[in-house]
Structure 1
């Protein structure tokens, strides 16, 4: 095998160790200064100015949520690619062992032919005193020739397989490198948006921070009230499945734990980290990000949802929460907040998805 191909094989075999380095958190990035913001110590005018700050914060945290989805998606791809590289590395090792065995067999066959003198069958006939013995030997020679051809073919196939495994490993490695860059780019976006939002909040006077928190609560309450006033809750009567109950129990047990982007517990979570881990705890794996949950899980009408279903929010599917019944959700809202209960209609609903669409409602479950 050529030196270049040996290098590829060596790279693939050692890749499993190198992969773990790519999963480590990337370096921190310096974030640019935020846009115009109230200077520290300045009291904002009631209403309009603070509402503008709230709108700005909402946009910054939404942008961070989208970037977090990008980061999580890149990490999920990296995990799959790492597994594929590990599998290829194992195939390469086994392929090299198989090739070595075949070469040994080929060498033994060549040595046997050498010991036989390499004489043609006609010469053996002339030297043989027993025609029947010659015929027996001739049959064995033909069998040996057929086996030799088969061995050479097997050697060629083993060589081709080994070269293909090396090429595949190299391709997966390149994809993994591209994924690492995507993660780094997403991390830079996340840190930039969060840093801007935190700086903006830190420059508010204490009384403005308190009023801002009140504005956030009022906006959520207004949206939830409008949602309930539509009479929707009268139509939502679905009961949780057995797995849905377990998922809800897990999610609600995380209440008061802090939000942290890209976190999947057990000490902190981002929005989709909470929902995906809750369903994993219930025995069902689901996509890691809110956008993939929206794309790949079965869509359910809001009126048909039941506890354990996931509500996807905003047009870009950048937030997800778990419905727990009685018009409430449990979710990890954003940086600076903790896992909490909230109204299901407190944010713009894109739609509802069901992780266990194949399961029936549990007869003993409480109504949703």
Structure 2
């Protein structure tokens, strides 16, 4: 691990948030300096997305200008329009004759029942939030926890949030994850402070507690949100390696493995778990094993990012809001 342990450890991209605590929701955008090879996979049973079909390796378009993660369920799909507006202002987009069309795939999570004020009138606020997130996008450090797409996120046990982590292969390729954790399941082991992702933790980035010394049946029992279907974990895995679109698709699947190692259970029928994958193409692969190691680190990095998102989250300012990990366990 090096740099800031964030997605922005990868050169050639920026991350921006728009956070509305009154709404209890928000938007996070990844903006690429140059169009990036991209793909993705949906393994949750109740997804919501925009322009996700074009990410299939068999489809024509190879590159994207930005990726958007948003709250708001289907209403949140307006956010990509705001990001497109910002890109269009800068002359960005796929050339189609004399026109330019910014390519901005998006995934959404369900946070409509988290206590925020969702009485927004005729039009949802997400297009404006998308534009705000785009204009706020910067390189370097960015906030984690209850910000951007992680603002209204929850899990079965404690408040969810936005997390990120990075790693470096032996040949110097950077692999980094960004994820909004709004899981139907739990990122923590039972009612303990331990994270399922503990075996992959680096430098006590989410508390350094490790796993429990022993596992009980209670630790392994199902913990889920039940009938309150406020679920879906959405994210992206990015590398600075040169990848094909097919390789990016495979990378997204390996990042889903990381999600499944960090949340129990993941990919439920009421989850819409979606992970994008992108490659900026700064560094060629040097050896046949390079891609294998990139995939290996994608699994670990996504798991770490999930735990960081929950660890850094803060409770929303509502009387009945879900308690955060830090509310419960930092006092013990």
TM-score bracket relative to the smaller structure = under 0.3
Structure number with higher helix proportion: 1
Structure number with higher strand proportion: 2
Q: TM-score, normalised by structure 1?
A: 0.22
